[in-house]
Chains A and B, each alone.
Chain A
Amino acid sequence: MVDQATAQELGLAMGSPDIRSVGPLAFGPEGVLFVGDNVGASIFALDVGDAPAGGQPESLDLENLDTSLASYMGCSREDVQIRDMAVHPLSGNVFLSVMRGSGDAAIPVIARIDLEGGITDVALDNIGFSKTYIEDAADEDDPREVTRVKLRTVTITDMSYVDGLLVVAGTSNEEFSSTLRRIPFPFSGDTSSNSLEIFHVSHGRYETAAPIRAFVPYQGNNSILASYTCTPVVQFSVSQFKPGEMAHGKTVAELGAHNRPLDLVSYQHDDEEYLLVANDRHPLIKIACVDIDQQGALTVPDESLDNSPADPVTPGVGVPRQILPQPGVRRMANLSDDAVLMLQEDGEGHFHLHTYGVGEL
């Protein structure tokens, strides 16, 4: 739990946040948990009250997590939707955003799993929190706003805290655009002036913009690797961030048809940095950051990479990459410097948590 002075510094006040849904999670400074609320069109910063642990967590493996969560929440397994996963940087506890049920009966739950597999949840009343809206309020001098029903929404697909800014990827339910919002924390209410559009060029010819599905900062937060709704994996530099301007990223990989990249994570092993990309249909892939740096922008499909025997799931073009055997990876998080935690779905739709040492990836 943050002390009173820190809470004040971070703009957190005690109360009951009106969280209507829970989605993407990200940890910020002092173990503050950011929670994306897509129904409420808001982002909450919560003091989840975890105490720092003595050392780094070693591993956590939990079979049939969805069944356990259903049992804990007193509902059927069908009513459990795990939205995101994050590891508390100080306590090592695993946090899951879970929706119990749907429609009017839906209840947002922040579940906490300790390193012995025990489940509790964060009480969402009498908690230190602050809140910001994803979008600025409607333009007050626009008379159409008076009667217009709120139809346009922005759905948060991923978030990361990078050097004082909460970086938020979102998808509009109307216009097809690629906007990355940068929200200063502590929240000040200023979001739109810090948004930027990121374009990338396919095969040296087609400029494209699309909603970012998931992303991960790496190289000491100087780079971001993002996966798009329309399949490319794109790298761009944080130094390109200039408020209100367009940025151009470098397409480093394309993962082929009928596949969506779901989550990304970076880790260090033997002084090299690597990235993992989890996909809904393709296997988990591993990319060495050094290969991204050395490759120019993807221009034409590279047949030699497509035909790699290590990659049975052609197509796919771009940087060299390795297929990893972990099946059904839906979400990933760094459990420690030495281990990656994976939320894996099996063929029957059950979810399991498994820890993999970076040496075995």
Chain B
Amino acid sequence: MTQGGHEAHPDLSLAWRERNGRDALRATGWTETELAELKGPDGGALNRRLALLTSEALQGGGEPACSPDTVRGPGRLLRSPPGSSLPLVAGRFEVEAGAVWFMPRFPFVAGMGYALLVYPSSAGDNASAGGARQSPRAWTIQRPAVDATPVARVVAIYPDVDEVPVNLLKFYVHFSEPMSEGRAQRAVSVCRDDTGEPIDGVFVPMDPELWDGARQRLTLLLDPARIKHGLVPNMEVGYPLMEGVPFRLQLGPEFRDARGRPLAAGAERRYAVGPEVRERVDPARWSLTAPAAGTLHALRVEFDRPLDHALLQRCLGIRDPEGAPVAGKGTTGPNEKSWQFEPESAWAEGRHRLRVERQLEDLAGNSPLRIFDRDMTEPDDGPDPSDLLALDFTCAAG
């Protein structure tokens, strides 16, 4: 293959141009005879003599066995002898205004190189008749790369506590920008805080990863198979974390934001590891400080242990004495060990209810209904017979 093609097309040049509202590749410098030939009576020569490949495919595959006569129909590609060829970039060639245009089926990729292959005028016709094929000439062009100045940062990591139970189930990592998926496995690591030694096999690889709708919060699940009592991995290798051995959660710059840029900086967080928590979440153990009626003071709820940050945002709600939902704002307190609720309007007088949804979990995945790995021989592990999923409090007149 020849780069440049000085003999046949001394002036052929490629440029990115918008056409019909889309990015297109324009090739100019053809003679009028060539354009007329390419256009032909049926336009078929365009697809026989021209082909677009990515530079990566061209370099990886050498001679493109995806010769134009294997193209099936305009813009739809590829039919190739097994093992010998690559499909062409999907799209179609058109002749207009003294130029040849390539309209891609999928948008061109930033930073990617593309090669226009031009087969000599006799080659395509000979080849289709079974004759020898001459090598095409290739012109290459690069798409501009995106601005890669990193801006995204890790803004929060939950649990926001100093010590986690050894049977910790989840981390939540919040980013300042919408992020790209598919990087967590290489970007997230855990090591011992004392020796710096990596701890492997902590997380269960999720594919696809667990992101929120805005792609700004990533949920990392510690391997539940190693946490659950009774499962082989738990019996064989035990918990992913070690009680009494502090560790660091490390988030590397390998993450990419939604525009493909790396993190502005990695982040890490140190945790101590305490004993396992294997008890149902029990609202009866919480303490409530009821606000006075007629005020906008917050209702304060203190928990007996840290609870799951994400679930606290939606698993607690207030009902007024009539049973109607109370509008307002719930906020999680330090260490996810408390919650306060500020109403939009002053509290009514009388008995209110704090409702707890059954999905609420603590850091080890225990819910009000069951222990994460319920031992069926332990009556206390099972569904709560009293079904206590609400706490009442009274707003008294001030």
Residues of A at the B interface (CB closer than 8 Å) are: 23, 38-39, 41, 61-63, 67-68, 70-77, 79, 81, 83, 100-107, 109, 116-121, 141-144, 146-153, 155, 171, 173-177, 201-203, 205-208, 210, 229-232, 254, 256-258, 260, 280, 301, 315-317
Contact flags B141-157 to A (C-beta < 8 A → 1, else 0): 00000000000000000
B187 within 8 A of A: no
Partner of B57, one of A41, A67, A173: A67
List B residues 27-78 near A (Cβ within 8 Å). Answer: 52-54, 56-57, 60-61, 66, 72, 76-78
* Structural contact, A171 and B210, CB atoms closer than 8 A: yes
Known: A101-B109, A150-B212, A155-B210. A176 touches B232 (CB 8 A): no
* Structural contact, A206 and B201, CB atoms closer than 8 A: no
Partner of A73, one of B106, B201, B206, B231: B106
Q: How far is the CB of A208 from chain B (nearest CB, A)?
A: 6
Whole-angstrom CA separation of A355 from B11 in the bound complex: 49
* Structural contact, B374 and A206, CB atoms closer than 8 A: yes
Cβ-closest chain B residue relative to A157: B208
Cβ-closest chain B residue relative to A207: B374
Residues in chain B near residue A208, CB distance under 8 A: 228, 230-231, 373-374
List B residues 298-342 near A (Cβ within 8 Å). Answer: 308, 310-311, 313-314, 317, 325-330
Known: A61-B82, A142-B317. A206 touches B230 (CB 8 A): yes
Residues in chain A near residue B21, CB distance under 8 A: none
Residues in chain B near residue A207, CB distance under 8 A: 370, 374, 376, 382
Q: How far is the CB of A37 from chain B (nearest CB, A)?
A: 11
* Structural contact, B114 and A301, CB atoms closer than 8 A: no
Residues of B at the A interface (CB closer than 8 Å) are: 52-54, 56-57, 60-61, 66, 72, 76-80, 82-83, 86-91, 104-110, 112, 114, 169-170, 178-182, 201, 204-206, 208, 210-215, 217, 219, 221, 223-226, 228-233, 235-237, 256-260, 308, 310-311, 313-314, 317, 325-330, 359, 361, 365, 367, 370, 372-377, 382
Partner of A68, one of B86, B178, B372, B375: B86
* Structural contact, A143 and B326, CB atoms closer than 8 A: yes
* Structural contact, B60 and A76, CB atoms closer than 8 A: no
Residues in chain B near residue A258, CB distance under 8 A: 201, 223, 233, 237
Cβ-closest chain B residue relative to A330: B207
* Structural contact, A75 and B112, CB atoms closer than 8 A: yes
Known: A150-B214, A208-B373, A315-B236. A63 touches B56 (CB 8 A): no
Known: A71-B88, A148-B313, A208-B374. A257 touches B233 (CB 8 A): yes
* Structural contact, A119 and B361, CB atoms closer than 8 A: no
* Structural contact, A202 and B325, CB atoms closer than 8 A: no
* Structural contact, B221 and A229, CB atoms closer than 8 A: yes
